[in-house]
Amino acid sequence: MTEGNFVDYVKIYVSSGKGGKGSTHLHREKFIEKGGPDGGDGGRGGHVYLVGNKGLWTLFHLKFARHIKAGNGGDGSGDRSTGADGDDKYIEVPLGTVVKDKETGEILFEITDEGEKQILSRGGKGGLGNWHFRSSTNQTPRYSQPGLPGAEMDVILELKVLADVGLVGFPNAGKSTLLSVLTSAKPKIADYPFTTLKPNLGIVAYRDFQSFVIADIPGIIEGAAEGKGLGHYFLRHIERNSTLLFLVPVDTPDIKGEYDILVNELTKYNPEMLDKERMVVISKCDMLDDELKAELKTELDISFKDVPYMFISSVAQQGLTELKDKLWKMLNE
């Protein structure tokens, strides 16, 4: 999938079908000139459903589907025949899709499971035929109910990537490189900020045919929570990760300071981020000899008292097995 095809935010207008009208038919057949009422009910209007599909990773297929409409219910007819129900409309979405009312911003529901089906817009009820209105004092009612109209609404579909581990760091911290060596994913890698413009997912193969999913989130800058840089367009994807992996290059002037900025931006966006498991990874450690690494470790032991940290090098393939072990342990404790 190319970056241009990754769409995680769409606005669509949906309308369910209106109900069919009831029939005012009076029974007629040979030798029965004045039979009673036998008008059938109208069929219900079609519903609009959202269905979870784990084979989808983007909302790109809805990017140009601005108006989605279900079918109208059929009218009732004689001999108490009920009209056909309107055709339902099924919209398939990736797991992790959040549905919001465009007018109020209220979250209506979320799709998180394969095959999960939720009604987005309910079809109108069909009207009752005149057969229902007969009585001892009104034996030939010549009226019936019209069908109820369908519902119309503007909704926002917002995809929050479902992954076990989220890679968090400043632009050009080496997240895409780490993802490429841990998984078979092939993200775009280059030596300039904001190489990654959309989240990349990769599956980490672990021991005994087990695996977990890791997401490379586009780089954070100061002020991201207020919408600077790529702002909310990527921060929402971190909400779904159970574990956050903070990546800080070893050549950063202030490793603890950079980590604090990252945590601060996540907290401003959503304070619940503090409840997630966290680990700090110091990347590009192949630039250090043993003496420099020992000195830095003494400093970091003081700075990171409550957060586990470790040294790795994606290029030199150092510490990657230990990183997988620690992540697996954090995810399964």
Q: Is 172 annotated as a binding residue?
A: yes
Q: Is 194 annotated as a binding residue?
A: yes
Core vs surface per residue 3-41: b (16+ CB within 10 A) or e? eeebebebebebbbbbbbbbbbbbbeeeeeeeeebbbbb
Q: Is 217 annotated as a binding residue?
A: yes
Write the CB contacts of 330 (distance below 8 Å, at least 6 apart in sequence).
243, 277, 279
Q: Is 212 annotated as a binding residue?
A: no
Q: Is 171 annotated as a binding residue?
A: yes
Q: Is 219 annotated as a binding residue?
A: yes
Per residue, the 3-state secondary structure of the chain, as one string, reads CCHHHCCCEEEEEEECCCCCCCCCCECCECCECCCCECCCCCCCCCCEEEEECCCCCCCHHHCCCCEEECCCCCCCECCCECCCCCCCEEEEECCCEEEEECCCCCEEEEECCCCCEEEEECCCCCCCCHHHHCCCCCCCCCCCCCCCCCCEEEEEEEECCCCCEEEECCCCCCHHHHHHHHCCCCCCCCCCCCCCCCCEEEEEECHHHCEEEEEECCCCCCCHHHCCCCCHHHHHHHCCCCEEEEEEECCCCCHHHHHHHHHHHHHHHCHHHHHCEEEEEEECHHHCCHHHHHHHHHHHHHHCCCCCEEECECCCCECHHHHHHHHHHHHHC
Q: Is 170 annotated as a binding residue?
A: yes
Q: Is 175 annotated as a binding residue?
A: yes
Q: Is 183 annotated as a binding residue?
A: no
Distance CA 259, CA 255 (A): 6
Q: Is 286 annotated as a binding residue?
A: yes
> What φ, ψ does residue 184 adopt, rounded to 5°?
-95, 10
Nearest residue to 15 (alpha-carbon basis) of 120, 157, 146: 120
Q: Is 173 annotated as a binding residue?
A: yes
Q: Is 176 annotated as a binding residue?
A: yes
Q: Which residues are annotated as a binding site for Mg(2+)?
A: 176, 196
Q: Which residues are annotated as a binding site?
A: 169-176, 194-198, 216-219, 283-286, 313-315
Q: Which residues are annotated as a binding site for GTP?
A: 169-176, 194-198, 216-219, 283-286, 313-315
